[in-house]
Structures are given as C-alpha cells and as structure tokens.
Amino acid sequence: MQQEGGCYCGKLRYKISERPIFKALCYCRACQHISGGGPQYFMLVPTSGFRWANGEPNTFKRQDKEDAVTRSFCSHCGTHVVTHRPGLDGVIVKIGTLDNPESFDEPKAAIFVEEKQPFHVIPETLPQFKTLPESS
Ligand SMILES: [Zn+2]
Ligand SMILES: [Zn+2]
C-alpha cells in the first residue's frame, strides 16, 4: 500500500509504503488545540514505512512535560503533519494531511476520552480508552 500526503502549502511531502498498525481518534487537549477543537484522526505507521519526500519538517517538543511528544510541522504554513511519541515505534500521521483522507476507514478506537469536551461525539462502534489503550 502506497500513500502520499503533505502539508497545506505543499512544501512538506511524505510517502507511506507500509500498512498502518493502528487507526484511531484522539480526544486529548493537545489534539483539541491543534485540530481546532475536535479530536485528531490519526494512524500509526511503521517507522520503516514512512519517509519525507520533499522538504524538512520543523519540530516542537514541550520542555515542561516528561515524555513529551515531538511534533513535526511545516515551517512555511504551520500544518502539523506527524508526531513521534517516546517509546512508541512508529510515526503518528494526521489523516487530514493525506492526499486521500477518505482512505481512513474503520478506525479502531477513541483514545484520551477523559479529556473530551461535552460537544464531542464519539462513534458508537469504537472502543473507548480513558488515555492510551495499553494503560486502560
Ligand atoms: Zn506547508
Ligand atoms: Zn491527542
């Protein structure tokens, strides 16, 4: 399976050559900040199956949090494209950055639902996890 995507302005591009390991919706506060208020739709792709095809991402990591994730974004348009979580082997790709976001079928879980807002709607078919699946 080959998938491609990139940021809003197109300077940052990536290619995915392997099947995702996991697909889910994240309702954490950080994702709300970044998405504009909703959950973030993402998939975890094996590290070996992800590569940047054009441009160099800028990165951000909070210094005030232990185990902070590293967020990679376009330095031109600011689009947040992928995240790396310490201890997790894989690249967390934001579904909205795919050229074909409609390929995101059958997410497997809703995570960090303890931080969701009253106006969020969680699809009934999804198992819910208070935080990460492995810690619930
Ligand atoms: Zn851009
Ligand atoms: Zn999140």
Look up the CATH number of the domain holding residue 95.
2.170.150.70
Query: Does residue 80 form part of some domain?
Result: yes
Spell out which residues have Cβ within 5 A of ligand 2, the ion.
26, 28, 31
46: containing domain = 3-22+39-100
CA distance 101 to 42: 10
pLDDT of the residue at 28: 96
- Ligand nearest the Cα atom of residue 79: 1
Query: Does residue 31 form part of some domain?
Result: no
CA distance 4 to 100: 8
Answer whether residue 136 shows pLDDT above 50: no
How many angstroms does the Cα of residue 99 sit away from the middle of ligand 2?
A: 22
pLDDT 10s digits, 49-85: 999 999 999 999 999 998 899 999 999 999 999 999 9
pLDDT-above-70 percentage for the chain: 98
Query: Does residue 113 form part of some domain?
Result: no
- Ligand nearest the Cα atom of residue 28: 2
In the chain, the number of structural domains is: 1
Query: Does residue 47 form part of some domain?
Result: yes
Report residue 16's pLDDT band, with 50, 70 and 90 as the boundaries. very high
- Ligand nearest the Cα atom of residue 75: 1
How many angstroms does the Cα of residue 36 sit away from the middle of ligand 1?
A: 17
Burial of 84 (0-12, 13-18, 19+ CB in 10 A): middle
